[in-house]
Amino acid sequence: MRKFLVILFVAMVVLSFAQKLRVGVAIPAADHGWTGGMVWWAQYAIKQYQNDPNAEFYLVTAKEPSEQIAQVQALLAKGIDALVINPYESAPLTPICVQAFRQGVFTVIVDRGINSEEYNTYIAGDNYMYGYLAGKYIAEKLKGKGNVVVIRGIPCSIDDERVKAFKDAISLYPDLKIIAEQPGYWSREKAFEVMQTLLTKFPTIDAVWTGDDDMLHGVLLALRQAGRDKNIVLVGGACEKNMVKMIMDGHPLIGVNFTYPPNMISTAINLAVMALKKQDLNGFYQRGIPRKIILATETVTKENAKDYYFPESVF
């Protein structure tokens, strides 16, 4: 009995001094609504572990690639066990992500991929279906005929994939024409300026697709100011909370949205913790955490919008 008590005491001492699991989370700063949402959801996920004495988190945000590289270098110097990162840009962040992976850090890449297969897990939304479903919706609403404006995001592989998918969807309708395609850089202000110019150039615009909801807010404002906010089909994406509320309230121009959730960062953080703790979740860990997780694009309508409405989120 005495021997058992000694062993138990030693085990308790070892556990009490067990090294904390350190998780570094590196994401772009909130330079537009979606990234603001990602920052909010990262903070939310980390807060759920505030009562876990064996988990420690370091959250950093960057305004440019060089800053994010320096931040990750600092995280590695702290001895983190896992890195969850949404790369500011793919190419410049690839070497430091590969370095983390080779050092044995459990590396989770989120949203924007890197130019390497050296990581543990990649999680992102389905960019192809995000664009394809938007094109299909517009084609059906216009009954296969009309003039369409495309306001795309920042030129990058994600945006290219979305736009290609949109064009694939409407290619089945020869009387549906893209009359203008310009970048709005995922900015309300830039999309507003672009739309103002296009409204003066084209007397007939039947539909506008923007790469995300931030830009759709800018488009809406331009249409209102020009008195052309009627009889037009508008589609954004990523379910910004005010757009979802418009759908819930039956807005005449905003009838649908498509998911590309910034809360994917929460999933990534939880996966990292689960991997470090080797926790099982309905056999998920036992089967192995997938190297690539693509989140399905879901269609949001008035009937289900309440399930996608998070009023406390910043996005």
- 32-54 mean pLDDT: 93
Task: Please tell me the predicted confidence (pLDDT) of residue 18.
Answer: 52
pTM above 0.85, yes or no: no
Cα 23 from Cα 10, distance rounded (Å) = 27
In this predicted structure, the answer to whether residue 16 has a pLDDT above a threshold of 50 is: no
Q: Are residues 61 and 179 in the same domain?
A: no
Residue 305 lies in a domain: no
Give the structural domain span for 251. 127-258
Task: Please tell me the predicted confidence (pLDDT) of residue 32.
Answer: 79
Q: Are residues 142 and 111 in the same domain?
A: no
Using alpha carbons, list the distances in angstroms from residue 138 to 105, 180, 196, 249: 44, 15, 21, 21
Contacts of 215 (CB under 8 A, 6+ apart): 151, 153, 184, 186, 187, 188, 190, 191, 236
Q: Are residues 183 and 195 in the same domain?
A: yes
Residue 99 lies in a domain: yes
Longest dimension (CA), the chain: 90
What's the domain count of the chain? 2
Please report which confidence band the pLDDT of residue 285 belongs to, taking 50, 70 and 90 as the band edges.
very low
CATH at 188? 3.40.50.2300
Residue 221 lies in a domain: yes
Residue 190 lies in a domain: yes
In this predicted structure, the answer to whether residue 282 has a pLDDT above a threshold of 80 is: no
Residue 286 lies in a domain: yes
Cα 28 from Cα 43, distance rounded (Å) = 13
Residue 313 lies in a domain: no
In this predicted structure, the answer to whether residue 55 has a pLDDT above a threshold of 50 is: yes
Q: Are residues 175 and 96 in the same domain?
A: no
**Token pair for residue 291?**
């190297």
Q: Are residues 152 and 185 in the same domain?
A: yes
In this predicted structure, the answer to whether residue 47 has a pLDDT above a threshold of 90 is: yes
Residue 193 lies in a domain: yes
Cα 301 from Cα 92, distance rounded (Å) = 39
Q: Are residues 73 and 177 in the same domain?
A: no
Cα 138 from Cα 116, distance rounded (Å) = 36
pLDDT, tens digit, 9 for 90 and up, residues 76-109: 999 999 999 999 988 999 999 999 999 999 999 9
pLDDT, tens digit, 9 for 90 and up, residues 155-201: 777 899 999 999 999 999 999 999 999 999 999 999 999 999 999 99
Residue 28 lies in a domain: yes
Task: Please tell me the predicted confidence (pLDDT) of residue 9.
Answer: 36
- 243-250 mean pLDDT: 97
In this predicted structure, the answer to whether residue 30 has a pLDDT above a threshold of 80 is: yes
State the chain's mean pLDDT as an integer.
91
The least confident of 63-72, 153-162, 222-231 is 153-162
Q: Are residues 158 and 249 in the same domain?
A: yes
Alpha helix (H) ranges present in the chain?
A: 2-16, 33-47, 65-77, 90-102, 127-141, 157-170, 188-201, 213-226, 241-248, 264-277, 284-287
Q: Are residues 80 and 197 in the same domain?
A: no
Q: Are residues 254 and 266 in the same domain?
A: no
